[in-house]
Amino acid sequence: MCPEPDIHWLDAAAFHDRPRPTGEVGPVTRAQDLPHVCYRPAHGNPAADGWQQGQGENPCIWVACEQGLAAEGRLRSALDGVIDSRLPPGASIGWHRHTDSEEIYYLLEGSLTVSVQEADGQLASFRLLPGDRHLLSPGMAHAALAGDEGARFIAVLARVPA
């Protein structure tokens, strides 16, 4: 799935570990100029069990990014990022915890099984279908597994004020 012809795909380190290019940026960014990042896997976690370790590829288009070195420096809000994310059939995002951020997953295509652990330790698992939303609060951990048809979702990330 990564890379597609005519698109320059970055690996995760190339995107997150180096500063974004600076320069004149207008109000419109063309599709081919948005960062296309391929995670192999997303949030890999070898200490987790089974699919929760993270597996397969996760090609993403960063619609907006205000995280670390990759930050665009264009937004003044608490928005950390907006990602158009895809998981091929059977691919997964590994188990990880968010301590100072919130996330919303909005499923566009396919299905996604999500496992979560609340800040109090309570575990839950559910299946998202197109049009469903998953909200992840600070202190929660989660992992996600694409169904037989894969999954495409929008992830909205926001920092929680200190």
Instruction: Classify residue 27: in a domain, yes or no.
Output: no
CA distance 51 to 58: 14
Instruction: Classify residue 4: in a domain, yes or no.
Output: no
Residue 52 buriedness (CB in 10 A; 0-12 / 13-18 / 19+) = buried
Q: How confident is the model at residue 69 (pLDDT cuts 50, 70, 90)?
A: confident
pLDDT (average), residues 136-147: 95
What pLDDT score was predicted for residue 152?
98
User: 123 versus 100: which is more confidently predicted?
Assistant: 123
Residue that is written with structure tokens 């180096």 in the block: 18
Instruction: Classify residue 23: in a domain, yes or no.
Output: no
Instruction: Classify residue 96: in a domain, yes or no.
Output: yes
What pLDDT score was predicted for residue 22?
64
What pLDDT score was predicted for residue 19?
74
What pLDDT score was predicted for residue 83?
97
Instruction: Classify residue 66: in a domain, yes or no.
Output: yes
What pLDDT score was predicted for residue 38?
93
CATH classification at residue 103: 2.60.120.10
Report the chain's mean pLDDT, rounded to a whole number.
90
The secondary element (H helix, E strand) that includes residue 161 is none
pTM value is 0.90
User: 74 versus 3: which is more confidently predicted?
Assistant: 74
Number of structural domains the chain divides into = 1
Instruction: Classify residue 16: in a domain, yes or no.
Output: no
CA distance 93 to 106: 15
Instruction: Classify residue 58: in a domain, yes or no.
Output: yes
Q: How confident is the model at residue 21 (pLDDT cuts 50, 70, 90)?
A: low
The verdict on whether omega for the bond into residue 41 sits within 30 degrees of 0, i.e. cis, is yes
What pLDDT score was predicted for residue 25?
64
Domain that residue 68 falls in: 42-159
pLDDT tens sequence across 43-60: 999 999 999 999 999 999
Instruction: Classify residue 147: in a domain, yes or no.
Output: yes
